[in-house]
Amino acid sequence: MKNLLILGAGTAGTIMASHLRKKLPKSDWTITLVDRATHHDYQPGYLFMPFGIYSADDVRRPMKRTVPRGIGYREADVDRIDTETNRVLLPDGTEMPYDILIIATGVHPAPDQVEGMVNGDWRKNVHEFYTFEGAQALTERMKSWQGGKLVVHICEMPIKCPVAPLEFCFLADAWLQKQGLRDKTEITYVTPMSGAFTKPVASGILSKQLDEKRISVVHDFAIARVDADKSAIVSWDEKEVPYDLLVTVPPNMGAEMIDRSGLGDELNFVPTDKHTLQSKAHANIFVIGDATDCPTSKAGSVAHFEAEVLTENILHFIAGEPLRSRFDGHANCFIESGHGKAFLLDFNYDQEPVTGTFPFPGVGPMKLLGESRLNHLGKMAFKWIYWNVLLPGLPIPFIGHQMSLRGKKLPPKEMKAAA
């Protein structure tokens, strides 16, 4: 009997368990998921909680409902991975041997990495919405909002779901209008990047959204500290942005266990072959989802597409074959723009987001990089798809792991390159 261990029962780990249980005979392979969580969260739903669109019940299910059949579940923290002996060590001394290990431990916000962030104002006037607790606390804070300076802020890249902070601005704009508080609220978006948008085509189309919604942008802002006494964030070159409510995205770090195991980079991301998803250091360790250092978005859609590639490559690995399946960095993301509308993005390592129709060329029904009500309905429907199609590892019709150029309007020079 052989052991396949999956560390992390989030989106990536659960989908992998579903796929592999269908492919690996139970008589040969035991598959076990290890995670400290008692619940599985639909993480894209956190964004909607502060605006009363989703409740806590919409985003959270007990783990026993989401762990696939035929998979063992061990609710535990991991102390470290011993790659010499191929064992995962738990804090209580338990040793879990593996023949193949999949690391799917994701990333988490690390507010303690920024001076002053977890002092005085934390969870009072300084919030984040990338955890269940954070989204709940912010939901409560929004209920007492009377107007003032709302600052939406990214500490450093890369972050999980890079468009979520912009979506937060757009949804806040719409929500504040409904509350009659928009004219009493200044919304400022603060980013360490050179602007709110950095890709040429998307920037050209989306930048006007910021003007139309009266959202001002502070760019190239690298945060040095939060000054809770002054209620301001301060950059390394001593620029200050004052806030009444700061909604920040703290630095995103991989699991500390990765660091303790000597497997990570400066952010505890695991160096990973961006096409095969094999770890660069160990042939029998694979990495998926946010835990990798692959240069694509940290997003559920990426984990979903990666899972198809990784399943094939693990079967190749077991058969002693070359890892033939290749991930292209495909990501597919909705951008909620408020008032029941959304944009849709589809891109990969090489292709920036462009306009067009999706998934059918010329037909759609969804519009790439265009605002539509149907895109929004697609995002809303996705919660059901997540629980009922994605996690059980069922295929989503017409959308493959390899990004398709069909239906995309490419700028002239890229048309030539693609031809």
Partner 1 sequence: MPTKTLAGTPVDTDDEGYLVNHSQWNKDVAAALAAEEGITLTDGHWKVLDFIDADFKEKGVVPGMRRMNKIGNIPTKDLYALFPDGPIKKAAKISGYPKPVSCV
Residues of this chain that interact with partner 1 (CB under 8 A) are 156-158, 162-163, 166, 192-194, 197-200, 202-203, 206, 219-220, 222, 224, 236-237, 251, 265-267, 293, 295-297, 331, 333, 335, 345, 347, 353, 413
Among residues 157 and 283, whose Cβ is nearest to partner 1?
Answer: 157
Among residues 18 and 261, whose Cβ is nearest to partner 1?
Answer: 261
How far is it, in rounded angstroms, from Cα 387 to Cα 118?
Answer: 33
How many residues appear in the chain? 419
Find the shortest distance in angstroms from Cβ 273 to partner 1.
12
How far is it, in rounded angstroms, from Cα 32 to Cα 116?
Answer: 40
How far is it, in rounded angstroms, from Cα 139 to Cα 101?
Answer: 38
Find the shortest distance in angstroms from Cβ 298 to partner 1.
10
Find the shortest distance in angstroms from Cβ 198 to partner 1.
4
Find the shortest distance in angstroms from Cβ 401 to partner 1.
17
Among residues 63 and 205, whose Cβ is nearest to partner 1?
Answer: 205
Among residues 32 and 203, whose Cβ is nearest to partner 1?
Answer: 203
Among residues 83 and 203, whose Cβ is nearest to partner 1?
Answer: 203
Find the shortest distance in angstroms from Cβ 295 to partner 1.
6
Among residues 9 and 234, whose Cβ is nearest to partner 1?
Answer: 234
Dihedral sign from CA coordinates of 390, 369, 299, 314 = positive
* Burial of 286: CB neighbours in 10 Å, binned 0-12, 13-18, 19+: buried
154 neighbors 163 (Cβ within 8 angstroms): no
Find the shortest distance in angstroms from Cβ 148 to partner 1.
28
Among residues 138 and 166, whose Cβ is nearest to partner 1?
Answer: 166
Three-state DSSP class for residue 121: coil
**Inter-CA distances, 296 with 191, 273, 316, 326, 380, Å:** 19, 12, 24, 14, 24
- Quickly count: other Cβ atoms within 10 Å of residue 144's Cβ: 7
Three-state DSSP class for residue 22: helix
Beta-strand ranges (E) seen in 21-90 are 29-35, 39-41, 60-62, 72-75, 80-82, 87-89
305 neighbors 330 (Cβ within 8 angstroms): yes
Closest CA to 341 of 217, 209, 248, 249: 209
Find the shortest distance in angstroms from Cβ 129 to partner 1.
18
